[in-house]
């Protein structure tokens, strides 16, 4: 089963898992340097002081706040990433994933600056996963997806629309604190813009 997963999706799953193990061993060190910190914030750790750094727009996506957080994102990568990687090819899929990650990060930075909220860092692969989810809904619109809770089957395109609407509602109302809802939407937006660009100027597959 493991070797049936395409190589880039498999590598992303393995990297996220290994980084989580490092987080358990090293504590807050990785969060200090590699989580996505809002502009103008600083974090004081043991002998360390840092805030936003450019590479965090990529590295935050490999960090996770809990085992459940990690497992949900890895499940999304496994369920949707495999089909999208087979469709796009390795190189194109990797570009698409990290464009979604960066777009999610930029969206979170802008939202945090506009709302003037507390300087909490953002971590998790959800921005990339939501970009992949959007691509799945666009390219496999009639594929049935069964929700975990509640267990309701629905076409992929309906699932993507409903999920995006829920994220927008939760983000605007602030109902579910501690979750970067606008980052999820930013990942979808980045993925949509990448697909739009490729449809106009499709890159070579590899």
CA distance 150 to 152: 6
Instruction: Give dist(CA 97, CA 9) in Å, integer.
Output: 10
Q: Quote the pLDDT of residue 178.
A: 60
| 82, 112, 126, 181: the active-site residue | 126
Alpha-carbon distance of 1 to 172, in angstroms, equals 40
**Residue 57: its pLDDT value, please?**
94
155 strand-pairing partners: 144
Domains and CATH numbers, the chain: 2-200 (1.20.1540.10)
**What is residue 7's predicted lDDT score, i.e. its pLDDT?**
94
CA distance 83 to 153: 19
- Mean pLDDT by runs of 10 across the 206 residues of the chain is 84 95 89 86 58 89 90 89 94 96 93 73 90 93 75 82 72 59 86 91 57
Alpha carbons within 13 A on the beta-carbon side of 16: 31
Residue 126 known to be catalytic:
yes
* Euclidean distance between CA atoms 181 and 168, whole angstroms: 7
């Amino acid at each position: 089963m493991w070797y049936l997963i395409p190589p880039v999706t498999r590598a992303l799953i393995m990297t996220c898992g290994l980084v989580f193990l490092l987080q358990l061993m090293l504590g807050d060190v990785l969060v200090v340097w590699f989580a996505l910190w809002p502009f103008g914030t600083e974090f004081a750790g043991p002998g360390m002081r840092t805030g936003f750094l450019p590479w965090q727009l990529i590295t935050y996506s490999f960090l996770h706040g809990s085992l459940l957080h990690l497992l949900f994102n890895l499940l999304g990568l496994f369920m949707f990433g495999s089909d999208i990687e087979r469709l796009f090819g390795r190189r194109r899929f990797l570009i698409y994933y990290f464009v979604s990650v960066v777009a999610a990060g930029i969206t979170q930075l802008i939202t945090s600056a506009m709302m003037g909220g507390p300087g909490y860092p953002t971590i998790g692969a959800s921005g990339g996963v939501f970009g992949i989810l959007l691509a799945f809904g666009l390219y496999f619109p009639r594929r049935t997806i069964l929700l975990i809770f509640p267990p309701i089957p629905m076409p992929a395109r309906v699932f993507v629309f409903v999920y995006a609407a829920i994220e927008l509602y939760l983000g605007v109302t602030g109902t579910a604190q501690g979750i970067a809802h606008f980052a999820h939407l930013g990942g979808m937006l980045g993925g949509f813009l990448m697909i739009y660009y490729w449809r106009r100027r499709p890159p070579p597959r590899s």
